[in-house]
Homo-oligomer: A and B are copies of this chain.
Amino acid sequence: MTSIPLRLARTVTSDYAGAMEKTGQPTINDVARVAGVSKKTVSRVINRSPLLNEDTRRRVEEVIGDLGYIPNPQARALALGRNFLIGLVHDNPNAQTVMNVQQGMLEALYDTEFEMIVRPLNRGSPTMLEDLRHFLERQRLFGVLLMPPISENDAIAELCVEIGCRYVRMGSTELDTDEHMVASNDREAVRDATRYLIELGHRRIGLVSGPHGFRSARERRLGFEDALRDAGIALPRSMIADGDYRFESGLVAADRLLDLVPRPTAIFSCNDEMAAGVIHAACQRGLTVPRDLSVIGFDDTPIAAHMWPPLTTVRWPIATMARSAALKLIAGVSSQETEAAVAEPSLFRSTLIRRASVSAPAAE
């Protein structure tokens, strides 16, 4: 019995082929005609309406598959008043980090009706907030994922609320309600990393900090201070050198720290790129890492494993966090996704990855 309507449908398909060839793509009307239902019913199938006979649904889905029908996202967007685009808004200077986030997002969006649209923002530009407002209002995005450090800006979250755009903020600490954030535990992770140095016997440990105004930089610095305080080690201001998360600043900061007498035996750098700068500076002076200087970074970017010596660093599950954030964003669109989101955690643990850039300090 089931095969007859099926074949009928196929036959009718070819009868109506002419109607489709105008645009080359079948419309909802074609599907309705072929399936012998109203377009309203097809719409119900597409939108997974619950009050729909199971047989009808199957039949319509069959036709949709046969015709290769794809609902026009533009038309849906217009009718529904929102589109199916998820924005990634960032002003992060680290390419690898951004790519990891993109990868995580796309993983979550894969096989959904959503697509990712990327919007870098120029931090420091006075019109940044207006630019973003313009972008959000114009595109009427379904939701946005806010990457650090821009995610730390509360004004942006308020803007999203005002405009009625869903948002999730990624951060190094709890920035918002569970629904609106995913966070890692930078402070604890850095504390543990610093403790590791202390346990190895290091006492003179330098810090290359991140830029002022970055929440992550603050958290990481606090974690560093926590560990020293817990161990009863004094932290003179001279042992802290300011960085801005970029390689060059790591170079400069390390030069300053390595000029100290006595020299630090270890340096914690608030990210890998600056840690590369630290190692670079050490090599330039003829120091050997880790014999003369132990170095720890943060992020576990590919460069960390690929440099020589391989860098001990803190791994931040960034792609996983981004994936989770994206799932939160699209939660509730279909029952499946809702269930997935219910299980989505908001807090993620960073862990220390031990490589060759750290050893016990040389005996003095």
Contact = CB atoms under 8 A, between A and B. Distances in A.
A276 B116 contact: no
A95 B74 CA distance: 31
Interface in A116-162: 116-120, 134, 137-140
A327 B302 CA distance: 32
Given A305-B247, A307-B276, A118 B102 contact: yes
How many monomers of this protein are in the complex?
2
B106 A74 contact: no
A264 interface: no
A38 interface: no
Contacts of A98: 99
Interface residues of A, number: 48
Contacts of A279: 308
Given A95-B96, A95-B100, 20 more contacts: A25-B137, A70-B134, A70-B138, A73-B138, A73-B139, A74-B83, A75-B78, A85-B117, A95-B95, A95-B302, A99-B99, A106-B118, A115-B119, A117-B118, A247-B305, A277-B306, A283-B309, A303-B306, A307-B308, A308-B308
10 contacts: A24-B164, A70-B138, A74-B83, A78-B78, A96-B96, A99-B99, A115-B117, A280-B307, A302-B303, A307-B307
Return the 4 tightest CB-CB contacts between A and B, nearest first.
A95-B99, A74-B77, A283-B308, A74-B78
